[in-house]
Amino acid sequence: QVQLVESGGGSVQSGGSLRLSCAASTPAYFSMGWFRQAPGKEREGIAGIETKGYTTYAESVKGRFTISRDNTKNTLYLQMNSLKPEDTAIYYCAAWPGSAELFRSPRDASEFGYVGQGTQVTVSS
């Protein structure tokens, strides 16, 4: 059974950092990524990574967030620095076949792949 289990969420002050982890049982050749959804807003793709390390980011997080994966542990990470109140959301780990760029379309990535249950990140000002 495919599972994606996120951890590492929590509350932090503006300017702080958090590191999210996602333990996955998806095929190793799948691209992986992170989505987020704030209350009252659509789910937003924020980063994607392919098996060989190619990474891609949404403009809203570029330069502040870093996505990485450990293929030996089948674990995905998201290092979040310089956090802002607008980063407050539920963060979801996802995995799908094909290009990492598909993170820009969470609906399509979810349809063809898998999404975890999410972890809450709250940034206070």
DSSP state of 102: G
For 45, residues 6+ apart whose C-beta sits below 8 A from its C-beta are 33, 34, 35, 58, 103, 104, 105, 106, 109
DSSP state of 9: -
d(CA 25, CA 17): 27
pLDDT of residue 53: 94
pLDDT of residue 45: 97
Query: What is the residue whose two structure tokens read 């990535």?
Result: 109
Please tell me whether residue 26 adopts helix, strand or coil conformation: coil
pLDDT of residue 61: 98
pLDDT of residue 16: 98
Range 105-117 average pLDDT:
94
Q: What share of the chain is helix, strand, coil (3-state, %, to 5)?
A: 10, 45, 40
What tens digit of pLDDT does each residue of 44-103 get? 999 999 999 999 999 999 999 999 999 999 999 999 999 999 999 999 999 999 999 999
DSSP state of 98: S
**Chain-wide mean pLDDT for the chain?**
96
CA atoms within 13 A on the CB side of 66: 8
pLDDT of residue 109: 92
Instruction: Say whether pLDDT at 2 is over 90.
Output: no
pLDDT of residue 7: 97
